[in-house]
Amino acid sequence: MRQTWADITFVHWAVEPDLVAPLLPAGTRPDVLDGVTYVGLIPFRMHRAGFGAGPPVPWFGDFLETNVRLYSVDAAGRHGVVFASLEAERLAVVLGARLATGTPYMWARMRLHRDGDLLRYETRRRWPGPRGAGGRMEVRLGPEIATPTPVEQFVTARFGLHTRVAGRSWWIPNHHEPWPLRRARLQRLDDTLVTAAGLGGLAGEDPASVLHSRGVHTVFGTPRALRGTGP
């Protein structure tokens, strides 16, 4: 699969690894930096998604998405993300992705508005429940980042996905150039997605990191099964 992730904002909270460990696929553990791991709330615009060497899929390949994601590593040392939830506008994409990749896609009504350096994301879940989960995020973009800090590198330089499909855990590699990052200021956050994902009231706390990127083009590779995680 090929796609562009554009107009993306990364909001992250530092948490104890024990909080997220029960939510990870078998054969993985929380990836940590200086003793903590991170929970991310990440809205963006999916653009020109397609398969293999073919052209982008019309209409279905362009939509808004918001992810609640965690950070993982497996016994082979492969670092990745684990999606606690993924909101998307296209019902057909939601149904296909849930079946093919095991990722918890949710159908939602979403909007993105930009006024100069101020971005406003809105989402409201339609299916499955809890119906109406979502909220609003407003961020003000700041200066470009020449050299990311270790935390900024940790939460953005992720080149794989851990998931569970057909009774086995898998790692799916992902390739993209380094993110062109800017720091950002969270001006408003009304969110229930993090709580709906089983992660308590984090959205009411100050985040450890807020970043933005105009986006990157990315390609997913061939899934690889994790040993010892089958039925």
In a domain, 231, yes or no: no
Ordered per-residue pLDDT tens for the chain, 231 residues: 768 899 999 999 999 999 999 999 999 999 999 999 999 999 999 875 556 555 555 545 589 999 999 999 999 999 999 999 999 999 988 998 898 888 999 999 999 999 999 999 999 999 999 999 999 999 999 999 999 999 999 999 999 999 999 899 999 999 999 999 999 999 999 999 999 999 988 999 999 999 999 999 998 899 999 998 987
- Does a structural domain hold residue 217? yes
Q: What angle do CA 112, 117, 122 make, to 5 degrees?
A: 20
In a domain, 39, yes or no: yes
Domain at 21, CATH number: 2.40.400.10
Residue 152 counted as domain residue:
yes
Please list the alpha-helical segments (H only) found in 157-192.
none
Question: Rounded CA gap, 114 and 7, in Å?
Answer: 9
**Do the domain assignments include residue 167?**
yes
At residue 53, the pLDDT reads 58
Is 127 within a domain? yes
Per-residue pLDDT at 15 = 98
pLDDT value, residue 60: 52
**Cβ(93)–Cβ(108) below 8 Å:** no
Residue 52 is predicted with a pLDDT of 58
- Whether residue 230 lies inside any domain: the answer is no
Range of the domain at 122: 2-225
In a domain, residue 67? The reply is: yes
**The pLDDT of residue 54:** 57
The count of structural domains within the chain is 1
